[in-house]
Amino acid sequence: MKHFKLFSLFKAIVCIAALWGGLCSCSGLDGIFSDDKDDNSSKESSFTGKYTEPTTGTVTFYEGYDAASVAYYVPQIENGFYKCAVSEPKLAELPPGTALEITYNGTTIHALITDLCPSSLNSNWTSKSSYFFDLAKDAFTKLADESLGVIDVTFKTTPYPTKSNIFFQAKDGINENWLAGRFYNMRYPLQKVEISINGSAYKQMTRLSSQNNWYKVDGQNLISGKKKFRLTDVYGQVIETNEISYVAAMGTYNCGKNFGY
């Protein structure tokens, strides 16, 4: 108790001295005297994503996580996140890799957009002004009874809170002149993907229109050459991956880095 009183007295003296000199305020000293050393928590709290305020949307569900499901293309979801598909007209606005916080009647779940809801399967998914999301049944029932089928929710984007690196998975059918693959486990969705082969200048890869989370490039030595990717997220953060010497069809490779919070 004596040490606490001495510490409080010391803080009060410092505050008075600082105010007397017109240099700062007592509130400005909170960081100096704080015991909180967790830098990650302060970074997450300062996230300025596009939907920091809740936005309204509509959620439906499908059965399971099998290959026929619309949200199939992520091999592993961690941190309590569910897979999610977004209506096709909103895919450019909310691309694969976007993390969502979805709330219904006071209950909240977290989901990661991994695919789209094809407009041809549901007329509601053609809307350019409304947000529609498709969840697996086990995710939907965390929010509401399955008998409802469709619910109106609020959502906002968040960082995907992974502690590991981004991964690259090569597509099947690749060769020395054509490379395609996808990236996953990003904290934020990708805006641009570029590739360098054997130290050459970076060349932009293009997104495959039929499989929205895959990128492709034409060139030479695309399998055997030394590859580095330059990734830009939707908030302008840029990282260069570790060098990947060789890729095999459907092989998965650790990029060695991730975007900051």
Q: Mind listing the domains of the chain with CATH numbers?
A: 55-158 (2.40.40.10), 167-254 (2.60.40.760)
Q: Which tens digits make up the pLDDT trace of 28-67? A: 322 222 223 233 322 333 334 445 579 999 999 987 554 4
Residue 183 bridge partners (DSSP): 168
Of residues 78, 248, 85, 71, the one with CA closest to residue 169:
248
Asked if 203 contacts 193 with a C-beta cutoff of 8 angstroms, the reply is: no
Query: What are 3-24's pLDDT values in tens digits?
Result: 444 434 444 443 444 334 433 3
Residue 126, pLDDT score: 82
Residues 6+ apart with CB under 8 A from 43: 260, 261
Return the bridge partners of 109, or none.
102
Please tell me the pTM assigned to this model. Answer: 0.74
